[in-house]
Amino acid sequence: MIALVTGASRGIGAATARKLAADGYTVIVHYHRAREQAEQIASEIGGFAICADLGDFAQIDAMIAEIIRIYGRMDVLVNNAGIALTGLYQDISDENAIRLFQVNLGGTMHTAKRVLPHMLRAHCGCIINIASVWGECGAACEVHYSAAKAAVIGFTKALAKEVGLSGIRVNCVSPGVMDTDMNRTHDAETMQALADETPLGCIGKPEDVANAVAFLVSDQAKFITGQILPVNGGFNI
C-alpha cells in the first residue's frame, strides 16, 4: 500500500508519515525546502522523499508522475502541507495572500486531481485533507488562512460526493491548537491562553492528528466519507 503525505518533513506531516509506516504503508515523504529532515524521516521509515513546490501545479504534476513511475499506484493521499499568515487582514500583501491560497487550497486540490485517475482505475483509495479549527470558526489576524482552510472543508465534502460511487473515500481532519512549528511563532503567553481556552486544558500533539488520519484510512472507517473529524481538545464544539 502506497501513501503520499505532503509537508511531511516536520510536525503533523512527519508524525503521520511515521504512523502510516508503522501501519504497513510505504510512505512518500513530500517536502519543499527541508530536504535533510525529509530524507531523514524517509530513511527512518523505509520510505522515499520527494520535493515539490505545491504552489506550482507543474511541479505537482511531475511529483505524481514520478511516484507512479516508481510505485505504479497510489492508495492514500494525505494533503497536509500548508503555510500560514498572521497579521491584520488589510496589512497582508496581495502577493502573500495569493501564495497562501495557491499552496493551501490550490495545492490540495491539484494534488488530489492528479492522484484521482490512479485511484479511479483501481476503484479504491482514500484522500485525507488536513484543515484547521480556524476553517470551522475563523480566527482574527488569520483571515486568509481561515478562509483557505474553510475552502478545504468544502472541497472535502463536495469531492466525497463525486467519487464515492468509484470506491474512493474523502475525509478531513481539522486540528485545533497543536504543538507544531507553525504555532511556535506565538509567544508563551498566547499559547498558554489557547491552552486555557481548550476544555482539555492542553495543546495537542502532532501524533493526535496522525492517529486520526490512520483511523480514517483504515478499514475501521470504511463507511465514513465526506466528514470533518475535529482533533481539538474541545476548543470548538
Q: Using an 8 Å Cβ cutoff, are 17 and 130 in contact?
A: no
What is each CA distance from 33 to 106, 114, 136, 162, 173, in whole angstroms?
Answer: 19, 22, 29, 34, 24
Residue 45 to residue 53: CA distance in whole angstroms: 23
- Alpha-carbon dihedral sign for residues 106, 80, 46, 170: negative
Say how far residue 181 (Cα) sits from the centre of its chain: 15
Residue 112 to residue 66: CA distance in whole angstroms: 15
- Look up 145 and say whether it is catalytic: yes
Q: Using an 8 Å Cβ cutoff, are 203 and 178 in contact?
A: yes
**Non-local CB neighbours of 204 within 8 Å, separated by 6+ positions:** 175, 176, 177, 178, 179, 231, 232, 233
Catalytic residues: 145
